[in-house]
Chain A
Amino acid sequence: MARDGVVLEIDSVSKSFGALAALSNVSLAVQAGQIFSVIGPNGAGKSTLFNVVSGLHVPTRGRIRFRGRDIGGLEPEQINRLGVAKTFQITNIFGEISVFENVRVAAQSRVRESGRLASLWRLPDVEGAASELLQAFGLAARRDEPAENLSHGEQRYLEICLALATEPTLLLLDEPTAGMTPGETREATALIRRIATARGLTVLLIEHDMSVVMGISDRIAVLHFGEKIAEGAPEQIRNDPNVIEAYLGPPDA
């Protein structure tokens, strides 16, 4: 772990696309083992924040520190190797290969040979790790089917499996329950909480579903038009007038 147990530190980060300021001076710190949610109306900049942390974008201003190390401007694969894994809001799996092969190739990125000459002829054994993950998410029964044949909810789980297979310290979940039924959402929420605790993960979560957010988060930050307008424990946020206004509009509107 890093100093003070802070795993991720977003320090006055701004991100602009031309004239559009997607993020303005956002700062927050995520402690080890926390489940930290980022919420806000559409267009608030939540996905941009994730994209900046995971390496898709370079921050226009400010710094991002992961376990004390500055990661702003690094390539996505480098950031992943340091221990940050992201899931995608729109399911982004390897469609035509089997579920098992999906997770297996994700797990393979962590073997010693990966990226080296030996990878040309060696075949590492990550079958166990891959099977275990599938088991944890209830996908073991579907392991040999092409990933694209999975139901939506199962694919969302597969997304998380892929991210977890890379043995991250910090997990970025981008609307993991998007498109799930209420039942599936409840299950998923419990599962995420269980696995995060079991593996000692720190989780940064984007969610729209308030029941998920309130039920699972240790801490919440609220973004609106690219700025952080509130941060605190769930009860605080629930009652914060600024937050209510951001979602529902000004009183008497």
Chain B
Amino acid sequence: MDYLVAVLLPQLLHGLVFGAALGLLALGLTVIFGLLGVMNFAHGELYMLGAYAGIAVIGLTHSFWAALVVAPLAVGAIGALTEVTTLRPLYRREPLYGLILTFGLALVFREGARQIWGGDMRRILPPFTGSTPLLGMTYPNYRLFLLAAASVLLLAIWLFFTRTRAGIVVRAAVQDAEMLDGLGVNVPRVFTLTFAGSAALAALAGLLLAPIFTVYPQMGVEMILLAFIVVILGGMGSMGGSVVAAFVIGLAQSLLTLWMNPQRVAIAIFAIMIVVLIVRPRGFFGREGVLE
């Protein structure tokens, strides 16, 4: 029982937080792919840039909270700029080009960050320390904050996509991009805003998680690989599926770390993916009739 409380439970909660961050990334990938037809290989780098932008802002203002506002906006702006200059010309072309371009972008962002901030691991200190007794264990306050923040974020996103007109339109367009044409919306602007929005969310996730993990240029790579696995498992057309799969993978990752070293965990997650693909080739929520 002690083990359960002292070790398992915190890891479980940690898995939920990690799953929420993965969910944000995977959602961003799914929405961008459904809407723009582009698989954003650079998404992990946007996550990483969020953490580094946070470091920059904290360096100037010494305020984590200021960073929490500014960093996502900054990365969102970078996202918007990227979309307008590099992705927009590709929408009419074969999807192959978008893949290669975002792959190139990922390289540039990753190495650019390394050039600017160096390859060493950096730390962002949590804005507050201390722990709280909870369910028989003490849980770090910052992680509690993360849990709360993640829940609020996901709730907000869910509300956006189900209750606001803009969100409903985007969600429907993710399933069927052509429908936007008939609605009289400014399609390029929707695309840019969506891309910027998903970039900002990725950055936010990166910054929020930074005090727990270290910050280094490669930090987006591991996340994006897991996000890809989430997307494959959740089914590309299904936003809800992405979120569910994200929590599954997040929890799996977190719990497996208790018993295996990181490389083995990676291979285990991969094995889980293979097993699911064998049993349900379309993923958890793949849609029938889309010739997925």
Q: Direct contact between A and B in the complex (CB less than 8 angstroms)?
A: yes
The residues of A with any CB-CB pair to B shorter than 8 Å are: 51, 56-58, 76
- At the interface, yes or no: B291 with Cβ under 8 Å from chain A? yes
Question: What does the 1/0 interface line of B19-50 toward A look like (CB < 8 Å)?
Answer: 00000000000000000000000000000000
- At the interface, yes or no: B120 with Cβ under 8 Å from chain A? no
Chain B residues in 8 Å Cβ range of A57: 288-289
**Number of A-B residue pairs having CB atoms within 8 Å of each other in the complex:** 7
Chain B residues in 8 Å Cβ range of A58: 288
| Interface SS majority for chain A | loop
Number of interface residues of B (CB under 8 A): 3
Chain B residues in 8 Å Cβ range of A76: 291
Q: How far apart are the CA atoms of A51 and B291 in the complex, in Å?
A: 12
Q: How far apart are the CA atoms of A129 and B130 in the complex, in Å?
A: 79
Q: Give the distance to chain B from A23, nearest Cβ to Cβ, in Å.
A: 13
Chain A residues in 8 Å Cβ range of B289: 51, 56-57
Please provide the 7 A-B residue pairs with the shortest distance between their CB atoms, ordered closest to farther: A57-B289, A56-B289, A57-B288, A51-B289, A58-B288, A56-B291, A76-B291
Q: How far apart are the CA atoms of A57 and B290 in the complex, in Å?
A: 9
Q: How far apart are the CA atoms of A51 and B289 in the complex, in Å?
A: 8
A–B Cβ pairs within 8 angstroms, 7 of them: A51-B289, A56-B289, A56-B291, A57-B288, A57-B289, A58-B288, A76-B291
Q: Give the distance to chain B from A19, nearest Cβ to Cβ, in Å.
A: 15
Chain B residues in 8 Å Cβ range of A56: 289, 291
Q: Give the distance to chain A from B276, nearest Cβ to Cβ, in Å.
A: 21
Q: How far apart are the CA atoms of A56 and B288 in the complex, in Å?
A: 8
Question: What does the 1/0 interface line of B264-292 toward A look like (CB < 8 Å)?
Answer: 00000000000000000000000011010
Q: Give the distance to chain A from B148, nearest Cβ to Cβ, in Å.
A: 33
Chain A residues in 8 Å Cβ range of B291: 56, 76
Q: Give the distance to chain A from B240, nearest Cβ to Cβ, in Å.
A: 13
Q: Give the distance to chain A from B282, nearest Cβ to Cβ, in Å.
A: 13
Chain A residues in 8 Å Cβ range of B288: 57-58
Q: How far apart are the CA atoms of A56 and B291 in the complex, in Å?
A: 7
Q: Give the distance to chain B from A76, nearest Cβ to Cβ, in Å.
A: 8
Q: How far apart are the CA atoms of A29 and B291 in the complex, in Å?
A: 27
Q: Give the distance to chain B from A242, nearest Cβ to Cβ, in Å.
A: 30
Residue of A nearest to B178 (CB): A90
Q: Give the distance to chain A from B164, nearest Cβ to Cβ, in Å.
A: 23
Q: How far apart are the CA atoms of A186 and B288 in the complex, in Å?
A: 37
Chain B residues in 8 Å Cβ range of A51: 289
Q: Give the distance to chain B from A237, nearest Cβ to Cβ, in Å.
A: 29
Q: How far apart are the CA atoms of A58 and B287 in the complex, in Å?
A: 12
Residue of B nearest to A52 (CB): B289
Which residues between 232 and 254 of chain B lie within 8 Å of chain A, taking CB atoms?
A: none
Q: How far apart are the CA atoms of A51 and B290 in the complex, in Å?
A: 11
Q: How far apart are the CA atoms of A58 and B289 in the complex, in Å?
A: 8
Residue of B nearest to A90 (CB): B178
Q: How far apart are the CA atoms of A146 and B288 in the complex, in Å?
A: 32
Q: Give the distance to chain A from B179, nearest Cβ to Cβ, in Å.
A: 13
Q: Give the distance to chain A from B235, nearest Cβ to Cβ, in Å.
A: 14
Residue of B nearest to A96 (CB): B94
Residue of A nearest to B287 (CB): A17
Q: How far apart are the CA atoms of A76 and B288 in the complex, in Å?
A: 13
Which residues between 64 and 100 of chain B lie within 8 Å of chain A, taking CB atoms?
A: none
Q: How far apart are the CA atoms of A76 and B291 in the complex, in Å?
A: 9
Q: How far apart are the CA atoms of A57 and B289 in the complex, in Å?
A: 5
Q: Give the distance to chain A from B42, nearest Cβ to Cβ, in Å.
A: 28
Q: Give the distance to chain B from A106, nearest Cβ to Cβ, in Å.
A: 18
Q: How far apart are the CA atoms of A76 and B290 in the complex, in Å?
A: 12
Residue of B nearest to A57 (CB): B289
Q: Give the distance to chain A from B176, nearest Cβ to Cβ, in Å.
A: 12
Q: Give the distance to chain B from A174, nearest Cβ to Cβ, in Å.
A: 15
Q: Give the distance to chain B from A135, nearest Cβ to Cβ, in Å.
A: 32
Question: What does the 1/0 interface line of B172-214 toward A look like (CB < 8 Å)?
Answer: 0000000000000000000000000000000000000000000
Q: Give the distance to chain B from A200, nearest Cβ to Cβ, in Å.
A: 31
Q: Give the distance to chain A from B128, nearest Cβ to Cβ, in Å.
A: 45
Q: How far apart are the CA atoms of A57 and B287 in the complex, in Å?
A: 11
Residue of B nearest to A75 (CB): B291
Q: How far apart are the CA atoms of A56 and B290 in the complex, in Å?
A: 8
Q: How far apart are the CA atoms of A223 and B289 in the complex, in Å?
A: 21
Q: How far apart are the CA atoms of A47 and B68 in the complex, in Å?
A: 50
Q: How far apart are the CA atoms of A57 and B288 in the complex, in Å?
A: 7
Q: How far apart are the CA atoms of A118 and B289 in the complex, in Å?
A: 32
Residue of B nearest to A48 (CB): B289
